[in-house]
């Protein structure tokens, strides 16, 4: 069983910003339904800043923790600052993730970037971009938990 930091456990057991934003300005949905990790991040943008951000995640504890941390990292940030939040930034903010769980931080950061891309597409009149499926990954264990 992977060993998690206290921050990962805290964000898993007490996730921040769980839920949906009605009439969100951008939605990033990303996942691999085959293995079970699915993340959806909603953003509300005001004056080029992320005014509000919420998430719904179906997946393991690390997936929930990384989604929670991403929302904490970008709330109040400009879109450009939020775009610089990478999987490594998320993992470092959680005091690290086991190597087998790094794909979870990739999903969280990528879902955020998709939400920003979706916001820009909607603003340009190109409509929502929809769900993006990721390639399947190998994982020895996958304790499915739904948080939302």
Of 104, 109, 112, 129, the active-site residue reads 104
What pLDDT does 147 receive? 38
Higher pLDDT, 21 or 137: 21
Q: pLDDT-derived band of residue 139, with 50, 70 and 90 as boundaries?
A: very low
**What CA–CA distances, in Å, run from 75 to 99, 103, 135?**
27, 23, 29
Active site residue 104: yes
Terminal Cα distance for the chain, rounded: 24
CB proximity list for 14: less than 8 A, separation 6 or greater: none
Do the Cβ atoms of 116 and 110 come closer than 8 Å? Answer: no
Q: pLDDT-derived band of residue 99, with 50, 70 and 90 as boundaries?
A: confident
Q: pLDDT-derived band of residue 35, with 50, 70 and 90 as boundaries?
A: low
Active site residue 60: no
Domains of the chain in start order, with CATH, are 6-130 (3.90.1010.10)
pLDDT over 70 at 143, yes or no? no
Tokens of 95: 């005091």
Instruction: Give the percent of the chain with pLDDT over 90.
Output: 64
Q: Is 60 helix (H, G, I), strand (E, B) or coil?
A: coil
Do the Cβ atoms of 71 and 16 come closer than 8 Å? Answer: yes
Q: Is 53 helix (H, G, I), strand (E, B) or coil?
A: strand
pLDDT over 70 at 134, yes or no? no
Do the Cβ atoms of 15 and 67 come closer than 8 Å? Answer: yes
Of 8, 21, 35, 90, the active-site residue reads 35
Q: Tell me the C-alpha distance between 38 and 31, whole Å.
A: 4
- pLDDT tens-digit readout, 57-79: 998 889 999 999 999 999 999 99
């Amino acid at each position: 069983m992977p060993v998690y930091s206290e921050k990962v456990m805290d964000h898993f057991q007490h996730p921040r910003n769980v839920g949906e934003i009605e009439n969100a300005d951008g939605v990033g949905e990303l996942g691999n339904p085959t293995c079970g990790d699915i993340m959806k991040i909603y953003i509300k943008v005001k004056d080029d800043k992320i005014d509000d951000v919420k998430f719904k995640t179906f997946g393991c504890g690390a997936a929930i923790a990384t989604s929670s941390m991403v929302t904490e990292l970008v709330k109040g940030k400009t879109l450009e600052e939020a775009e610089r939040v990478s999987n490594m930034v998320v993992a470092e903010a959680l005091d690290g993730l086991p190597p087998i769980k790094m794909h979870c931080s990739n999903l969280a950061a990528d879902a955020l970037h998709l939400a920003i891309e979706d916001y820009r597409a909607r603003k340009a009149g190109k409509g929502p971009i929809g769900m993006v499926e990721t390639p399947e990954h190998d994982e020895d264990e996958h304790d499915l938990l739904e948080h939302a």
